[in-house]
Amino acid sequence: MTLPHVSEILYKHKSPPCEGCPATDDLSPNTPLMTQPIETSHLVRWAAACLFAALLSSGCAHTATVTAWTPAEIDTAGIRRVSVMSLDGDQGEETTRKLTASLSGDKHYTVVDRFDLQEIQWTAGVTDRTGLLSLDKLNAARESDVDTLLVGEILESSCHDSPIDSNEQDRAEEPLSESGISQTTGQTLMRDATVSIAFRLIDVENGEILASKEISHAYHGKVVIGQPGTHTHREVLDLLASQCVDEFSEMLAPRKLEQEVTLAKPAIFVSGYSFVWNGNEFARRECWDEAIIAWERAIAINPANDAALFNLSIAYAQQQNFAQAERMAIKAVNLRHTPLYESGLDRIRRQMSDFDKSLQQRQDLN
């Protein structure tokens, strides 16, 4: 194993100079490793290296934010036009508007206003909890060239406040809250709220249920009466209903999500470590092109730098070059088996599969 010269430690290791995507002149492949060789003893080299290793170990975690496609959970083939029926239950009409807006904003589907369908009475759109629609309603949707109908009902929508201290019950009566208990300004209460909604996506052609899910979101926490920012019961329930709607909408179309991944840390006693460190800093700032230059420079110096290889696999996956990403990850795993490298390779293979499936779904929807 080759110990880095102290000049590489003192001269080459430096963070990128700006917050954006900084210049990378010192990271180009033609840059010499050392500009001014320094005559030092082996003892000084080891001392400098050990001191710098201590500084590295005390730094921030090496992570970066990447984006990845997640496919829809249903078969989207043949689905173009969707109509959202009025959801049954408390606040059903408001939730229907939220669901319609969520699907409209997704841009993958054409949302047909239910009032634009053929003149059919829709007030009892669901015949039972199975979500089946009557034949005349399906025929009306077909006549309007709708592919699927989205129906559902609010199963639960509740919000209650309770005193934290049992002695609160004996306090002087003040205006009642929505829970029916007395309140005073500054009083701390425990609030519990739950919203549960059953969603069903119906194929208009054959009446089959393409997707069915009951989704619940809850809130549990302390609230202070009269404190600025304290939400009313209705505001809390609206927020929980929106979370349910968003979760179901995400099932219906491919989407791009951000996630944080862990980068391999540079090994102080491995040649090229400074370029790995700089690459990690670029990746943290989402300057992926600069990160790739730095990690490739580390590999040019030391082809067995497993940290640089693994981090390159993350960068290539971010750029959707999955074949190259897989090759880099496999090389890193072959050089050193670690849980980080093995889980990273598995993640890249999932990303590749999800990207291909999402791409096909986006083509089908468009």
Question: In which residue ranges of the chain is pLDDT below 50?
Answer: 1-18, 22, 24-26, 28-40, 54, 57-58, 119-132, 168-176, 179-180
Distances (CA, A) of 68 to 317, 320, 348, 355: 9, 9, 10, 7
Identify which of 344, 280, 339, 337 has the alpha carbon closest to the alpha carbon of residue 310. Answer: 344
Three-state DSSP at 194 gives strand
pLDDT value at residue 11: 35
pLDDT digits (tens, 9 = 90+) for 299-343: 999 999 999 999 999 999 999 999 999 999 999 999 999 999 999
Q: Give yes or no for a contact between 158 and 184, defined as CB atoms under 8 angstroms apart.
A: no
Domains of the chain (ranges; CATH) run 45-68+259-365 (1.25.40.10), 81-253 (3.30.160.150)
The model's pTM is 0.66
Torsion, Cα 116 120 123 127, to 10 degrees, reads -120
pLDDT value at residue 204: 86
pLDDT value at residue 289: 95
Measured on CA atoms in the order 139, 142, 144, 146, is the torsion positive or negative?
positive
pLDDT value at residue 141: 74
